[in-house]
Amino acid sequence: MFAHIRADLAIIRERDPAARGPLEILLCYPGFQALTLHRLSHRLWRSGLPLKLPARLLSQLGRSLTGIEIHPGAKIGQGVFIDHGMGVVIGETAEVGDRCLLYQGVTLGGTGKDYGKRHPTLAKNVVIGAGAKVLGAIDVGANTRVGAGSVVVRNVEADCTVVGIPGRVIHQSGVRINPLAHSALPDTEANVIRNLMERIDQLEGQVRSLQDNLRTMAAANGSTLSEARSGKAQSLKDREILEFLGEQS
């Protein structure tokens, strides 16, 4: 129990520059308070008592005090940091590995009404961004980061970056991630749009070249080429496209 508390204190001081000392963490960090109460309720839950009510009451007390709801049946490793934490929900069969980092609004939830394992399992050093939802009995590999607002419903291998709804793996490598860089995620939608627009520009250039050749051939034969009507074309240089992609004109 005390080893867990020491690890929780150490990880907060390591990852949060605003943490000025153990006393401030004890009194002012709801994530630490919620985890400490959870470790007590978890021990009650696994004690073999015929009634689980005391454990549930203790978890409800933690929810009321911190805004973080952790079912007493959830398994949480050492050095876990719930930053800010308001609105975090961790289900009964969820498992959170050592040194994981969860931001506010995260849900480790279940799907359906099946009994048994129905919540996710996070390996070591997983980072879950603010508002992200990880749903179902899925596994998230070590050193993976999930972008803010993402919804993950499938297994994720180690050393991945996941964004979007539903969550898509957009990066995978053997390089260990910086756990605090959860906002440094590539903009996959912008990249896809940029690639499509570049392809459209290329195709429109080819069409114009073919039309010029046809006009030349028609003029040589003493005839005219009818013009096909088309809508206003857009390219990567248009202001609306540049603004959407977040680029300067």
Show the tokens assigned to 85: 């934490």
71, part of any domain: yes
Residue with the larger pLDDT of the pair 188 and 60: 60
Residue with the larger pLDDT of the pair 171 and 86: 86
Q: Are residues 213 and 98 in the same domain?
A: no
Average pLDDT over residues 150-165: 88
% of the chain exceeding 70 in pLDDT: 80
Q: Are residues 49 and 105 in the same domain?
A: yes
Last residue of a domain, one of 148, 172, 196: 172
Q: What is the DSSP string of the chain?
A: -HHHHHHHHHHHHHH-TT---HHHHHHH-HHHHHHHHHHHHHHHHTTT-S--HHHHHHHHHHHHHHS-EE-TT-EE-TT-EE-S-TT-EE-TT-EE-TT-EE-TT-EEE--SS-SSS-S-EE-TT-EE-TT-EEESS-EE-TT-EE-TT-EE-S-B-SSEEEETTTTEEEEE-SSPPPTT-TT----HHHHHHHHHHHHHHHHHHHHHHHHHHHHHHHHHTT--PPPPP-PPP--TTSHHHHHHHT---
pTM score > 0.75 for this model?
Answer: no
177, part of any domain: no
Q: What band does 74 get if pLDDT is binned at 50, 70 and 90?
A: very high
179, part of any domain: no
160, part of any domain: yes
Digit-coded pLDDT (tens) for 165-209: 888 887 666 555 555 555 555 656 666 777 777 888 888 888 888
Q: Are residues 153 and 194 in the same domain?
A: no
CATH of the domain at 136: 2.160.10.10
59, part of any domain: yes
pLDDT at 249: 46
| Model confidence at 131: pLDDT above 80 | yes
pLDDT at 8: 76
Last residue of a domain, one of 172, 205, 229: 172
User: How many domains is the chain built from?
Assistant: 2
Q: What is the mean pLDDT of the chain?
A: 81
Digit-coded pLDDT (tens) for 108-121: 998 877 788 899 99
pLDDT at 139: 93
pLDDT at 25: 83
pLDDT at 16: 79
Q: Are residues 236 and 154 in the same domain?
A: no
Q: Are residues 6 and 57 in the same domain?
A: yes
For CA atoms 211, 217, 220, 224, give the dihedral sign. Answer: negative
pLDDT at 197: 78
pLDDT at 96: 94
**Domain containing residue 110:** 2-172
Least confident of 60-74, 146-160, 162-176, 224-238: 224-238
Q: Are residues 164 and 207 in the same domain?
A: no
For the ranges 71-75, 177-181, 225-229, the maximum mean pLDDT occurs at 71-75
Q: What band does 234 get if pLDDT is binned at 50, 70 and 90?
A: low
Cα–Cα nearest to 130, from 75, 174, 82: 82
Residue type, 149: G
